[in-house]
C-alpha cells in the first residue's frame, strides 16, 4: 500500500474498544458516553479486517483502545492474529495498555506471540497516579508490568509530559526504567477530544525537557526504531533508551507509515484529520473480501500529507473532536 506521497503503509493500529477502566484527565472526561454495543465490530469481524490489511502489506499490528484488555474475550482475537506471526505474514503483534489487566493476561499474551508492549504510565507517585487516572491504582499497574516482564515480554513505558503535573518526575523515570530494563518514551499532549481541563495549561514541549534531561544524563542519538514515531536517545548512565514523540513541536508526518482502524470499522488515515473511510459496510455486504480491499485502496489513495495539530490560547477547541480512545491510543 503506497499513499499519494510515496509512503509505504505497513503499520496498522486497531482500537478494539473505546471503553477504558481509567479516565485519564488528558484523554477523557470523567463522565464519558461510550459507543453502544450494536455499533462495535465483533471480534471475528476485526480479525477479518486485520487479515485483509495483512494481505495488503501490513507487517506490524498494534491493538489499542480505550483499554484493549477490558474487551470481553479479546484473547480470542489476539490468539487468532498471533497465528499470522507463526505463518511469517506478520512481523509483530503488540498492544498499548494501561497495565491494569496485565497480571491476568501476560502469560496468554506471550503464548499468542506478543513479545513487546507499551504501557501508559504518567507518574510513579500513587497519589498523583490516582489524580491523573481518576479511577486507577498504581500498585495494580506496577504488578501488571512485573507480570509482563516475568512472562518474557519487553515493556516500554509511555509517559505523557504534563506541565506542572509530572515534569518533576522525569529523572526518577530514567532511573527506574534503566534499572528495570524498560525503554521510556515521552509524548507531547495532543488536542484530541473535549476534556474537562485546558490543554494549553498541560502542554509541555519536549525540546526543553530533553535539554534539561541532558544536564544530568549523557544522551546520544540512537538509530533504534520500532516502526512508530518515536526518536530515541541512548542514556549512557543506565544503558537504557529515551524516546521522544513530538506531534506538536516537531511532527513526524514525512515518515508516517500507519493508519488507524476503530472498533466500529472506521479507518482514519491520519490521527489529526477527520477524513475517514467506512470499512464496516463493505465488510458486512459480502462474504468475500474484494469490496473491503477496494475500500482500503481508495482510503490509502487519499491519505493526507500531515496533521493540523495546534495548541494555543487563541484556539481552545480540540483540533479533532473525537477522543483518543475512539481512534486508538
Q: Cα angle at 200 between 125 and 190, to 5 degrees?
A: 75
CA 90/CA 61 separation, integer angstroms: 8
Give the integer Cα–Cα distance in Å for 301 and 278. Answer: 14
Query: Cα–Cα distance between 148 and 107 in angstroms, integer?
Result: 7
Are the beta carbons of 293 and 28 closer than 8 angstroms?
A: no
154 is in an annotated binding site: no
Say whether 270 counts as a known binding-site residue: yes
Place of cell 503503509: 9
For the chain, the maximum distance between any two Cα atoms, rounded to a whole number of angstroms, is 59
* Sign of CA pseudo-dihedral 91, 41, 299, 230: negative
258 is in an annotated binding site: yes
Give the DSSP per-residue string, 273-289.
---EEE-HHHHHH-SSS
Is 156 annotated to bind a ligand? Reply is yes
Per the annotation, does 24 bind a ligand?
A: yes
260 is in an annotated binding site: yes
Q: Is 190 annotated as a binding residue?
A: yes
Q: Establish whether 112 is an annotated binding residue.
A: no
Q: Is residue 120 marked as binding?
A: yes
Does the annotation place 11 within a ligand binding site? no
For CA atoms 48, 71, 12, 84, the dihedral sign is negative
13 assigned ligand-binding residue: yes
User: Does 96 appear as a known binding residue?
Assistant: yes
Please check if 256 is assigned to a binding site. yes
How far apart CA 140 and CA 142 sit, in angstroms, is 6
Annotated binding-site positions = 13, 20, 24, 26-27, 62, 66, 96, 120, 156, 190, 253, 256, 258-260, 270
Annotated binding-site positions for [4Fe-4S] cluster = 20, 24, 27, 253, 256, 270
Annotated binding-site positions for S-adenosyl-L-methionine = 26, 66, 120, 190
Annotated binding-site positions for GTP = 13, 62, 96, 156, 258-260
Amino acid at each position: 500500500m503506497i499513499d499519494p506521497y510515496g509512503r509505504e503503509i505497513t503499520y496498522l493500529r486497531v482500537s478494539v474498544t473505546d471503553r477504558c477502566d481509567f479516565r485519564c484527565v488528558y484523554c477523557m472526561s470523567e463522565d464519558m458516553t461510550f459507543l453502544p454495543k450494536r455499533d462495535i465490530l465483533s471480534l471475528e469481524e476485526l480479525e477479518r479486517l486485520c487479515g485483509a490489511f495483512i494481505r495488503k502489506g501490513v507487517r506490524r499490528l498494534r491493538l489499542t483502545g480505550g483499554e484493549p484488555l477490558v474487551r470481553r474475550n479479546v484473547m480470542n482475537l489476539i490468539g487468532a492474529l498471533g497465528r499470522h506471526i507463526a505463518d511469517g505474514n506478520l512481523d509483530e503483534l503488540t498492544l498499548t495498555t494501561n497495565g491494569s489487566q496485565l497480571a491476568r493476561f501476560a502469560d496468554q499474551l506471550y503464548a499468542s506471540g506478543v513479545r513487546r508492549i507499551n504501557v501508559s504510565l504518567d507518574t510513579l507517585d500513587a497519589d498523583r497516579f490516582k489524580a491523573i487516572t481518576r479511577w486507577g491504582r498504581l500498585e495494580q499497574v506496577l504488578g501488571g508490568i512485573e507480570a509482563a516482564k516475568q512472562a518474557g515480554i519487553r515493556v516500554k513505558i509511555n509517559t505523557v509530559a504534563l506541565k506542572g503535573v509530572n515534569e518533576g518526575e522525569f529523572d526518577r523515570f530514567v532511573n527506574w526504567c534503566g534499572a528495570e530494563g524498560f525503554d521510556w518514551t515521552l509524548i507531547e499532549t495532543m488536542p484530541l477530544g473535549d476534556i474537562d481541563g485546558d490543554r494549553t495549561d498541560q502542554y509541555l514541549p519536549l525540546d526543553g525537557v530533553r535539554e534539561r534531561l541532558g544536564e544530568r544524563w549523557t544522551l546520544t542519538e540512537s538509530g533504534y526504531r520500532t516502526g512508530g514515531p518515536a526518536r530515541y536517545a541512548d542514556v549512557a548512565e543506565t544503558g537504557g533508551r529515551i524516546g521522544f514523540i513530538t506531534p506538536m513541536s516537531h511532527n513526524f508526518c514525512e515518515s508516517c507509515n500507519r493508519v488507524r482502524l476503530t472498533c466500529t470499522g472506521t479507518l482514519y488515515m491520519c490521527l489529526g484529520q477527520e477524513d475517514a473511510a467506512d470499512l464496516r459496510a463493505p465488510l458486512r455486504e459480502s462474504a468475500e473480501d474484494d469490496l473491503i480491499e477496494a475500500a482500503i485502496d481508495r482510503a490509502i489513495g487519499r491519505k493526507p500529507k500531515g496533521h493540523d495539530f495546534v495548541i494555543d490560547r487563541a484556539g481552545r477547541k480540540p483540533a479533532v473532536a473525537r477522543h483518543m480512545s475512539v481512534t486508538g491510543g
